[in-house]
Amino acid sequence: MKSDDPDITWVEEPKLGLTGRMYLPLLVQGLTTTARHLISPKVTVSFPEERPQIGNPLIYRGVHRLNKDAEGRVKCVACFLCATACPAHCIDIIAAESPWPDREKYPESFVIDELRCIFCGMCEEACPVDAVELTSLMDLTGRSREEMIFDKEKLLSVYDMTKDAEPMKSIALGGTV
């Protein structure tokens, strides 16, 4: 593209007055900005001592949980929609014949590899029975890779841990269940 191309719009630099060219207003502006920030309140959260403020825990995407229904059974019907939706392929489900009459299948094993998970929330969106949900737990750590692969019991225990603070989204957000 040549510089006399009609598509180019030439923009005139803003003209500086004498004070502007003396640099003083600009220097003072820069210094006052930094000096103001020097004494302004800090935004750092000193993490282990201070917990970060999570705006709305119901829509935060942290560690997964497997919800239980009113009778304490796992809600999941092993439909594989979450595993299919997962872009990181971190959900592994083994389905089995359901012992309960109200559904055909239930997950014999439900494993989420938290190290592979990218916490996008697709599984939560895909789930037709609102069984898998993301909680607001954000400080997920472990000492080994094995520890970070969450099986069904662990995911259910996450539900037990968080059910009081975070009710099931389906209800809280006006869902179907």
Partner 1 sequence: MPEYVIVALVKIALLIGGLMTAAAYFVLLERWMAAWIQDRKGPNRVGIPLTKIKLFGLGQPLADGVKFILKEEYTPGHVDKFLYSLAPISILAAALASFAVVPVGDRLPAIFGYGPFDLTAAPGIDVGMIYVFALSSIAVYGVILGGWASNNKYSFLGGLRSSAQLIAYELPMGLGILGIVLASGSLRLETIINAQASSGLWNVFWQPIGFVVFVIAAFAEAARLPFDLPEAEQELIGGYHTEYSGLRLLMYLVAEFLHMIMAAFLIVILFLGGWHFWGLTGDATGEITWGQAILRHIILMSKITGVILFFMLVRWSWPRFRFDQLMALAWKVMLPLGMVNLVVIAVLVEFQPQLIERAGGRGMASLLMIGASWLIGIICWAAVAWASPLGTDNRPVYGKIGAME
Residues lying near partner 1 in the complex (CB under 8 A): 3-4, 6, 8, 10, 12, 16, 18-19, 21-23, 26-27, 30-31, 33-35, 37-44, 46
Phi–psi pair at 135, nearest 5 degrees: -95, -175
Q: Which is nearer to partner 1, 43 or 70 (CB)?
A: 43
CA angle 30, 33, 34 (to 5 degrees): 90
Q: Which is nearer to partner 1, 10 or 101 (CB)?
A: 10
Q: Who contacts 109 (Cβ-Cβ below 8 Å, separation ≥6)?
A: 92, 93, 94, 151, 152
Cα–Cα distance for residue pair 159/137, rounded to 1 Å: 11
CB of 52 to partner 1, least distance (A): 14
Q: Which is nearer to partner 1, 38 or 70 (CB)?
A: 38
CB of 11 to partner 1, least distance (A): 9
The closest alpha carbon to 44, from 56, 33, 52, belongs to 52
Q: Which is nearer to partner 1, 26 or 96 (CB)?
A: 26
Do the beta carbons of residue 85 and residue 122 sit within 8 Å? yes
Dihedral angle at the C-alpha atoms of 38, 40, 45, 49, nearest 10 degrees? Answer: 100
CB of 21 to partner 1, least distance (A): 4
CB of 138 to partner 1, least distance (A): 20
Q: Which is nearer to partner 1, 33 or 109 (CB)?
A: 33
CB of 12 to partner 1, least distance (A): 6
CA 115 from centroid of its chain's CA atoms: 14
